[in-house]
Amino acid sequence: MICMRNTEEEFKKKLTPEEYHILRERGTEPGFSGKYTNHKARGVYYCKACGNKLFESDTKFDAKSGWPSFFEVVHNAVELKPDNRFNEERTEVVCAKCGSHLGHLFDDGPEPTGKRYCINSLALDFKEH
């Protein structure tokens, strides 16, 4: 269930134009450009737009895809939606708290889930343990 606390104007004030484009306009940052692509610190990744806890660092893996990848999400932190843009059938990952676009889910991840949450660095904040 989405709990929209911010208006679009508030999101525009809080986020950089690039972050806004990714999170609120369903954009994608260029591959291998994000600061969390090769990030290895231990901690927690949060939604940049609302601070919702999304991923633990011990679920991050190197998918060599150009974007941060995780095999598991924090329980109930995201919603999955069909995304048929660009004549492709994909699964969009959005923040369950604010509805912001985070990235996409693929079924080519490692065990134990077999999932790959492919997430834009600009959609994330990180706090080290």
Q: What CATH code is carried by the domain that includes residue 105?
A: 2.170.150.20
Encode pLDDT of 12-62 as tens digits. Answer: 999 999 999 999 999 999 999 999 999 999 999 999 999 999 999 999 999
- Domain annotation covers residue 3: no
DSSP string, 80-115: EEEE-GGG--EEEEEETTT--EEEEEES---TTT--
Give the total number of structural domains in the chain: 1
Summary mean pLDDT of the chain: 94
State the residue range of the domain holding 70: 8-37+44-128
- Domain annotation covers residue 2: no
Per-residue pLDDT at 3 exceeds 60: no
Extract the tokens encoding 63.
Answer: 């998918």
- Domain annotation covers residue 96: yes
Percent of the chain having pLDDT more than 70?
96
- Domain annotation covers residue 106: yes
pLDDT for position 5: 63
Q: What is the mean pLDDT of residues 67-96?
A: 95
- Domain annotation covers residue 56: yes
Per-residue pLDDT at 96 exceeds 80: yes
pLDDT for position 61: 97
Residue 3 annotated as catalytic: no
pTM score of the predicted model: 0.93
- Domain annotation covers residue 85: yes
* Phi, psi for 121 (deg, rounded to 5): -55, -40
Among the listed residues 47, 50, 95, 118, the single catalytic one is 118
